[in-house]
Amino acid sequence: MTTQGDAVRVRLANKMVRSRDLTATTGELMNMGSAASLEMPHPVLIESAQGAYLTDADGNDYIDFQIGFGALVLGHKHPDIQKAILDQVNDKGWHFGLHNPGQIPLAEQIIKADNCAERVIFCNTGTEATMYAIRVMRAFTDKPKIAVFNGSYHGAHDYGIGIADPDSPANAPQWRAMGAGVPDGIASHQMMLPYRSEAAFDLIRANKGDLAGVIIEPAQSSNPQMGDDIGVFLQGLKDVCAECDVLLMFDEVITGFRFAYGGAQEFYRVQPDIVTYGKILGGGCPIGAVGGRADIMHLFSALGSDPRGIMSGGTFSGNPLSMAAGFAQLHYLDTGRAEIYPKINALGQRLADGINNYARSNDMAVQVLNAGSMFQIYFTDLPIHTARDIPPGKSQAETDFYLHLLDKGILVPGTRRSFVSNAHTEKIIDEAISRICASLDCIREDGLI
């Protein structure tokens, strides 16, 4: 008997031939990467994009919920950003190496936001930004340890890929690296804290003599929620860090300029000592940034003049193309913030409510969590408080569900961390809800949920 899962695999194979063949070719030429963001349920290569839609190499169209892994908050090929890029390329050039005037207005836009940044440095990725932030926190405090939270992700460098050992206690998790190639000694300078638990505050107090800084995603990308209790937790974290002379860093690579123009800091009215940005900041071009208190940020330009001065730099850091695209996007967000942020947050909630109501009314063990316009679908109906409550691995139901989504023209990234953009509309969201619920029906018909 042919199942819905069997049928969808045949349909995808027939209509995504070029994506499949090109993926096989690239496997002979280059490594596609093992990050979850690249692990799609079926080979798909994207040829073009417009607004809230992607088109693959075979001409299939998709409602896009990866939206540049969250970077394209205005959607694909927004005319203001496109014009800024073309003007920069055609009239001025796209790489100088030295500083350029375009860095100034973008830095001013960051500082204008309701955040902690008094000064800013630019780099090329969110990974670089968190790496530099960790370095400057250690230099400023002259302490070696950095603490992160269970369920967090802070970039692909050795200090950013920590996960909690599943065998360690929930209120005293142990840091371990994700994957091989990370020296054992890294763990001696890292701490793992329990998310949304006051036990974290006790661990900070107990380790304050060695602890340079605490890093937190103000809304975890792996567990997107933004309730009042999270704001209370963030304020408590700020208070205990100040009490213990430990720096607090918000990793706003994902949340920056998404919840509000001032990011999670504006939304929760909690300001850390230092912040990192990426994604939305670049308007779709590669970018990272570190901002913070002036006395901390001083160390980025103090190498040789201050024993605490740190090294930072990169060939493409602050490159003019990213500055032009980033300024165009932030300026548009700034001038339209009163309309844009209520809209995208409401659309994210509309999507979550639509799927959750359908799942509950049909007794399906599925739920959507969302933090405004950021959302993720989980195959459990049990409450999710922290990452430990998320079922490990990918079930057959989940695998087949995302195959059905692709077949029905919905693209979700391999991480499952999804985003709504300003290019999405209520009509598009309602159509997406319909297709997502139809995909749930398919896996239920096969007895998978």
The DSSP result for 326-375, as a single string, is HHHHHHHHHHTHHHHHHHHHHHHHHHHHHHHHHHHHTT-S-EEEEETTEE
- Is 251 marked active-site? yes
- Is 153 marked active-site? yes
Q: Which residue among 153, 159, 195, 378 is the active-site one?
A: 153
Three-class HEC string of 199-229: HHHHHHHHCCCCEEEEEECCCCCCCCCCCHH
Q: Which residue among 56, 64, 251, 407 is the active-site one?
A: 251
- Measure the CA–CA gap between 42 and 47, rounded to whole angstroms: 16
Give the phi and the psi of residue 195 in degrees, each rounded to 5.
Answer: -75, 140
Residue 236, helix vs strand vs coil:
helix
Q: Cα–chain-centroid distance for residue 133?
A: 17
Give the phi and the psi of residue 374 in degrees, each rounded to 5.
Answer: -105, 130
Q: Which residue among 143, 145, 238, 279 is the active-site one?
A: 279
Identity of residue 78: H
Of 349, 371, 367, whose CA–CA distance to 358 is shortest? 367
Give the phi and the psi of residue 186 in degrees, each rounded to 5.
Answer: -60, -40
- List active site positions: 153, 251, 279
